[in-house]
A and B are shown apart, each in its own frame.
Chain A
Amino acid sequence: MTKQLLTLRVNGEPRTIAADPHHTLLEVLREELGLTGTKHGCELGECGACTVLVDGVPILACLTLPTLVGDSEVTTVEGLASAEDLHPLQVAFAEEGAAQCGYCTPGMLMTAKALLDTTARPTRAQIASAISGNLCRCTGYTAIYEAIEKAAEISQGTQSEGGAGAQPLRRPGARSLTGAQLP
């Protein structure tokens, strides 16, 4: 099999790789680009662990050939946080205990991001519907609903405050999530 050169835009970076043309986007992300945050779960598009965003739309990387992505923007879990700031979803998932084993989490986060990007304050039914293609075997989904709702609140809070005064959500080292204080 002859490998083909391919340029993908992933998390804002143009990346050129050589890959077998039959390899899926999941394989290319994990094996050629070292972006192992996107997970393999079922090979059939059933579990959603491989969910990434293509131009903001959640897709299943295990069912997608990279050539079809063209020069669309691919966002993986590694692209969710910036160097300084976590995404509100990441903070909310941590605070609500919405990641247990963490394996479905990257896909779940990407689906949730797509939902919040189009629906600022989703109802629980909208959340359940949005994540119905992402299987979680640990949580029973309750904590995930609560985390997505909390992330929506956080996002709206920071948006409404807006401007220079808005507090970005710092990584744990910078923002005290532990609430450390003397008794």
Chain B
Amino acid sequence: MSEFSVIGRRLPKVNSWAHLTGQARYADDLFLPRMLYGRLLRSTRPHARILRVDTRRALAHPGVVAVVTGADMPEKMGIMPSTQDETALAVDRVRYVGEPVAAVAAFDEDTAFDALSLIQVDYEDLEPIFTIEEALERDDVKIHDEAKRANVFKEVHLSFGDLEGGFGAADHVRDDWFFFEGNTHAPIESHSAVASYGPDDKLTLWTATQVPHYLHRELEKVLGLPRSRIRVIATPNGGAFGGKSDPFGHEFAAALLSMRTRRPVKITLDREEVFYAHRGRHPVKMRIRTGVKKDGEITAVHYQSWLDGGAYASYGIATTYYTGALLTVTYRIPAYKFDGVRVYTNKPPCGPKRGHGTTQPRYGFECQIDKIAEDLDLDPLEYRKKILQPANSRTVNDLRITSMGLGECLDALQRSTRYSERRGQLGTGKGIGLAGSAYISGAGLPIYWNEMPHSGAEIRIDRGGGVTVMCGTSEIGQGSDNMLASVAAEALGVMPADVHVVSGDTSLAPVDLGSYSSRVTFMAGNAVRDAAMKLRALLVAAAAEKLEVPAERLLTAYGRIYDRDDPAKFTTFADAAVLAESKHGTLVAAGSYKPPKGIGGSFKGAGVGPTPAYSYQAAVAEVTVDMDTGMVTVDKVTTAHDCGRALNPANVEGQVEGSAYMGYGEIIGEEQVFRGGLHKKPSLLDYKIPTSLDTPVLEAIVVESVDAEGPFGAKEAGEGPLNPVIPAIANAVYDAIGVRFDETPITAEKILTALGKRDRRGERKTRIGPDGLDAGKADPKRALRRLTASTDARERKRPVS
């Protein structure tokens, strides 16, 4: 018999029923009386000065009610307070094709769209920068004038332990370059926001956001409206994956248009616009040098990364640190140096995508670990097990490790897949690969410095025993509403279905920092548990008095408060609520959570990496490579994930499988790529996300390490499981055809090149990947000139109505 009545059970999510009957209200599903429809005019130039924006003809267009431009909201904004370099709509300058420049509100969407072509923007083209290498070198072209050196956004250097000594003591040193291509979240729901400025001079914004609290702050800054007059309501997100965790131009534009017109305004992005909103995976070049002893023990790691950040900061400062911060938490590394550089380029801004900044280095490092195992003739699984960072330890970069289940994950995989016996034995074209990984259960520090809780929750119990949980979390499909209901229900002794959840509403719910960095289960879970335990104490005290049983002997479950020794002696939860309210007054309690001190170091840059608990995971991929067509079929991905404790195993498995799916898409073909600054694939027709027919068989194995600080022992499950899948597939392809893929994605074309089927000499390669920093590819500027000419020709031909 489980010690829990809710935790650990496969109960349906409390918000499923709305999803399954079409009654969930996403932002685009809101239709308010007198509502206007907005659209954004976007830049056609990758880099240009804005000389003039003339909106007169658009304003005169029948049906248009208001037009706003960047000049109406010139205040700088951005998710990270220390690097705010964006404006809601472009002011003076555009820095990527697709950057919002102006916004129109009209009676209907067609009219708003038509009016966009009546806005005249005069641009003076500036030379664009498209590659990391150009961005590093070109001091004469500045995408942001504030950049100190060329187009470098951020440069970090951290060193821990005796690096020289470590490499000196090594018997073997590997030095490998890797490239991870950029890609995007592609949630099925496009971004959408509805703003309503009321007669009381208060603004309400319903929006598909992961971060209602941070958006609340930015709205105040940009609109000049006190936060006390703004209410942000995060609507259920139709998928987010990190892509809805920045403040976006359309949110400010809808708000300002509503303030100007005093009517509700909705702006929903179309699919092409979602690719420009982006904030997805950074393209990253990496160099990893690792020294090992003969037995494989790591003596030193020097990790370098160069991130292509796109046109603006977004979370870039955190992303840059994340590329280096978490390499140390899986395997013992006694000496470690990290150098990271993020540059600006004239492309849509990159930001956090599931696995934020850790996915790229984890890919490189796990491929390199596979190579080291081969160099030393070690079994890659046994090798990883031998060098594990121990539980309850500190890493060389001063990160506190508590529960650590990577070893159990590897054991579970070996039992399930027989990896060690099958590696190298499957014959040409068939392969099996392995990788491990880790992730944070929430960032240890908030985005703006403060001493307040990271998560707050409030619970109210009504006189009929109804329980309402209020928390600022944003439900993005990860199941946060259900987590809140489940934790409260377990603590109070009711069922999740009896709990009402009010989330993501800045007026009704206490602040939670948002649904990013896999922080919600751990942090909001602890906050809601804290609140629930306070109310439980009141209920139990009142019930003890009535039942004449000592309070310590009372248990709460299934809507009853009962005597442990004699379950027939009970009071119902609803009766207990009445007794408790009579005795103690209105039943409301607040709870909060803040990570403990001392989970990270105190050096500059130590703020990124610490977390109250790391999740661990490993994956085994099985692949088949068609030697004639180069097509890679991933037959199966098995992922074992240490989530601390599975609050709801079905939902944990869903996260693990969904992560494997997304990782598979990233390595097998998804890429956010450009030709002369123009997105090559800004539609779901061209940007292929895996269908049911593409997707491998996915198996999830849940490993429970029961974390001492997690709510009922839980850690994160939503992001970490993506990380090992990518290197596991690369390692499996190596096992199949003997070619190392040190760059993503692994396309059929690259496979054929490697097999010598695409060049005349027919030479086989053993590796596809970069050899250093270089431009090396076709001149992107030439493509730009060609495209500009054709765009200009098309614009000249466009009839002016």
Residue ranges of A at the interface with B (Cβ–Cβ < 8 Å): 1, 20, 30-31, 34-44, 46-47, 49, 76-78, 80-81, 86, 90, 93-97, 99-106, 109, 127-129, 131-144, 171-172, 177-183
Contact = CB atoms under 8 A, between A and B. Distances in A.
Given A102-B236, A103-B239, A138 B654 contact: yes
A133 B558 CA distance: 42
Interface string B8-22: 011111011111111
Interface of B: 1, 5, 9-13, 15-26, 28-29, 31, 110, 185-190, 236-241, 268, 270-271, 476-479, 495-497, 557-560, 562, 567, 648, 650-651, 653-654, 657-658, 660-662, 683-685, 689, 691-693, 695, 697-698
B477 A93 contact: no
- Which 7 A-B pairs give the minimum distances between C-beta atoms? A37-B22, A101-B477, A102-B19, A103-B238, A140-B661, A77-B22, A36-B29
B239 A135 contact: no
5 contacts: A37-B22, A78-B22, A86-B20, A137-B658, A182-B557
Contact of A140 (B185, B236, B562, B657): B657
B312 to A, nearest CB: 24
Given A81-B21, A96-B650, A39 B31 contact: no
B270 to A, nearest CB: 6
Given A78-B22, A137-B662, A103 B695 contact: no
A109 B20 contact: yes
Contacts of B557: 182-183
A94 B558 contact: no
B189 A103 contact: yes
Contacts of A133: 691
- Overall SS of chain B's interface: loop
A102 B18 contact: yes
Given A35-B22, A139-B661, 4 more contacts: A44-B684, A78-B21, A129-B693, A182-B558
Contacts of A142: 657, 697-698
A128 B693 contact: yes
Contacts of A138: 239, 477, 654, 658
Contacts of A134: 692
B756 to A, nearest CB: 34
Contact of A46 (B26, B562, B651, B683): B683
B688 to A, nearest CB: 9
Nearest to A79: B22
Contact of A141 (B17, B268, B692): B692
Contact of B190 (A35, A40, A86, A171): A40
Given A47-B684, A76-B22, A41 B189 contact: yes
Contacts of A129: 692-693
A182 B560 CA distance: 8
Interface centre among A42, A99, A103 (most CB of B within 10 A): A103
B11 A178 contact: yes
Contact of B654 (A104, A127, A139): A139
A132 B684 contact: no
A23 to B, nearest CB: 9
